[in-house]
Chain A
Amino acid sequence: MTYYQKWISFYTIVRKDVLRMFRIWAQTFLPSVVTSALYFLVFGAFLGSKIGEVQGVPYVMFVVPGLVMLAVITNAYANTSFVMFSAKFFGRNIDEILVSPTPPWVLVSGYVAGGVIRGVLIGLIVLSVSLFFTHLTIHSLFVVVAFLVLTSIVFALAGLVNGVYAKSIDGINIVPTFVLTPLVYLGGVFYSADALPGIWGTITKFDPVFYVINGFRYGFLGTSDVPLLLSFGVLAAFALVFFGIAWYLIRTGLGLRQ
């Protein structure tokens, strides 16, 4: 295939996914609007006034970046894991791509691009919802956008790996429930990791979501528990590793070919 032909194949995969997510918008976009509005209501209006300020800003402003990332992570992950899983099990139309000359890296990139589009759109939607509850200051637009995209890439890749491996619908629900959710909650959505006592503060440092939230929060508030470059580096490393795994799985056909 020429590069132009690869581009067409990539575009085909992405276009199909984007049309799908808009067709079923009530399942793909609406849930995050509802849950995040509830979070903002609880933490902003009800609890926020009791908690007061964290790192020099009202509590609701402090949690917005974390809650946005919670939605971004779950949606980017759900998109690729579900799309890959259903292409494998509902009629096995993943074979349509597997018999074609589309190389594995184009397939991975196409699926991930779909997850990134969903993640970034969700991020923007939840940010817009937050404006009903607080005002936002943006310290660095570049950092905000970079973390939105990088986080979507990392978790779309992780979701893709999960989707390739999953042998049943439980296989794509277990990881989000037992791995992703704890990572997100312990990663500092609701608090600054500085506030965590002893061992917990150390454990948090091994949680990729910790870097996601700190980097993203820095983009808004200009404050972070760790240096910005470290957060960038950690996420970029995760993206590379997951891309490698996804590429290898599809290249060798583990989980896809008999």
Chain B
Amino acid sequence: MTDLALEINNLEKTYAGGTRALNGVSLAVPQGDFFALLGPNGAGKTTLIGIVTGLVNSTAGTVSVFGIDAARSPEQSRATIGLVPQEVNVNPFEKPLDILVNQAGYYGISRAVAVPRAKQILKDLGLHDKGGMPSSQLSGGMKRRLMIARGIIHEPKLLILDEPTAGVDVELRRSMWDYLTGLTKKGVTIILTTHYLEEAEQLAKHVAIINKGDIVEQGTMEEVLAKHPSTPLGAGDEGKYRGGKLEEVFLKLTQNPT
């Protein structure tokens, strides 16, 4: 038995068109962690998540989920993962309750178990009155919450969220974080990508920063912040927006040298 929820070694991905998305990435996510995978647009975050969840074929390297080799035993490894994808991919004609119950079905959970569970999750995420309308009639933020509900319907041990808070208002974002930290307290491991760095700084225990297909930094949030002390204000920087500490570290590691 391993104490890692996810272990990635030398993962490489070159897309069919020739785009190199990952150049040998290695990562370790401990069980029960709240792990932030950060990086600028096009860094390779979604690609990495796609490989872990079985939506993208890797070019080289290994992925193991709770000690299960994802390439050798894909079905076993997928059973432990829940995915909330970056792009909205709910069937517009289907109703939220059906989407959740069907998703549970793909994991082998009977309707008798799935229906009450789906209703509870819709309630927890503030969608209880939307269960019966076609999902095309949900707002953008509601669709995101529906995708979170879909990602947890089978009670995964590892929940991967690819920008779950994009387009979600402040109040809901807070309740979403409360909900997700509640899940980690129950032992669920969470990996998340986000471009809201203050959120990651507050919530994540571990962080990895990826840039152009390479991990440029990883460790506990404290370690990473301590390793890259704030740069003093330069002349003319007074009054400029500076963001949080993590934002500074992030920019320092991912900005192109000018």
Binds B, one of A99-107, A170-178, A209-217, A240-248: A99-107
Is B75 touching A98 in the complex (CB atoms < 8 A)? no
Q: Mark A74-115, 1 if CB is under 8 A from B, else 0.
A: 000000000000000011110111111111000000000000
In the assembled complex, which residues on chain B have CB atoms less than 8 Å from the CB atom of A16? 98, 102
A1 within 8 A of B: yes
B65 to chain A, nearest CB (A): 12
Known pairs A1-B79, A101-B108; A91 contacts B50 (CB<8 A): no
In the assembled complex, which residues on chain B have CB atoms less than 8 Å from the CB atom of A6? 108
Known pairs A1-B75, A98-B54, A100-B103; A258 contacts B91 (CB<8 A): no
CA distance A123 to B55 in the complex (A): 37
Is B106 touching A97 in the complex (CB atoms < 8 A)? yes
In the assembled complex, which residues on chain B have CB atoms less than 8 Å from the CB atom of A5? 107-109
Binds B, one of A7-15, A182-190, A197-205: A7-15
Known pairs A1-B75, A101-B76; A11 contacts B105 (CB<8 A): yes
Taking CB atoms and an 8 Å cut-off, the chain A residues in 43-63 that contact chain B are: none
In the assembled complex, which residues on chain B have CB atoms less than 8 Å from the CB atom of A233? none
Is A90 touching B108 in the complex (CB atoms < 8 A)? no
CA distance A102 to B54 in the complex (A): 12
Contact of A100 among B78, B89, B99 (CB under 8 A): B78
A2 within 8 A of B: yes
Taking CB atoms and an 8 Å cut-off, the chain B residues in 46-79 that contact chain A are: 50, 53-57, 74-76, 78-79
Contact of B89 among A8, A12, A96, A103 (CB under 8 A): A96
Is B75 touching A12 in the complex (CB atoms < 8 A)? no
Contact of A257 among B56, B79, B110 (CB under 8 A): B56
CA distance A33 to B253 in the complex (A): 66
Is B91 touching A93 in the complex (CB atoms < 8 A)? yes
Taking CB atoms and an 8 Å cut-off, the chain B residues in 101-123 that contact chain A are: 102-103, 105-110
Is A99 touching B92 in the complex (CB atoms < 8 A)? no
Pick from A95, A257, A258 the residue with the most CB of B within 10 Å: A258
Number of interface residues of A (CB under 8 A): 28
In the assembled complex, which residues on chain A have CB atoms less than 8 Å from the CB atom of B92? 90-91
Is A258 touching B56 in the complex (CB atoms < 8 A)? yes
B114 to chain A, nearest CB (A): 9
Taking CB atoms and an 8 Å cut-off, the chain B residues in 80-107 that contact chain A are: 81, 83, 85, 87-92, 98-99, 102-103, 105-107
Q: Mark A101-137, 1 if CB is under 8 A from B, else 0.
A: 1110000000000000000000000000000000000
Known pairs A92-B87, A258-B15; A12 contacts B106 (CB<8 A): yes
B150 within 8 A of A: yes
A253 within 8 A of B: yes
In the assembled complex, which residues on chain A have CB atoms less than 8 Å from the CB atom of B76? 101
In the assembled complex, which residues on chain B have CB atoms less than 8 Å from the CB atom of A92? 87, 89
B71 to chain A, nearest CB (A): 12
Taking CB atoms and an 8 Å cut-off, the chain B residues in 1-43 that contact chain A are: 15-16
A4 within 8 A of B: yes
Known pairs A95-B55, A258-B15; A102 contacts B89 (CB<8 A): no
In the assembled complex, which residues on chain A have CB atoms less than 8 Å from the CB atom of B53? 99
Is A253 touching B87 in the complex (CB atoms < 8 A)? no
In the assembled complex, which residues on chain A have CB atoms less than 8 Å from the CB atom of B74? 101
CA distance A16 to B79 in the complex (A): 21
A187 to chain B, nearest CB (A): 35
CA distance A253 to B105 in the complex (A): 21
Pick from A2, A12, A253 the residue with the most CB of B within 10 Å: A12
Contact of A8 among B78, B79, B109 (CB under 8 A): B109
Is A93 touching B110 in the complex (CB atoms < 8 A)? no
Name 25 interchain pairs, CB-CB below 8 A, sorted by A: A1-B75, A5-B108, A5-B109, A8-B108, A8-B109, A9-B108, A12-B105, A13-B105, A13-B106, A16-B98, A93-B89, A93-B90, A96-B89, A96-B102, A96-B103, A98-B54, A99-B53, A99-B83, A100-B79, A101-B74, A101-B108, A102-B75, A253-B57, A258-B15, A258-B50
Given contacts A16-B98, A91-B90, 4 further A-B contacts (CB under 8 A): A8-B110, A13-B106, A96-B89, A96-B103
User: Contact residues of A with B, CB < 8 Å?
Assistant: 1-2, 4-6, 8-9, 11-13, 16, 90-93, 95-103, 252-253, 257-258
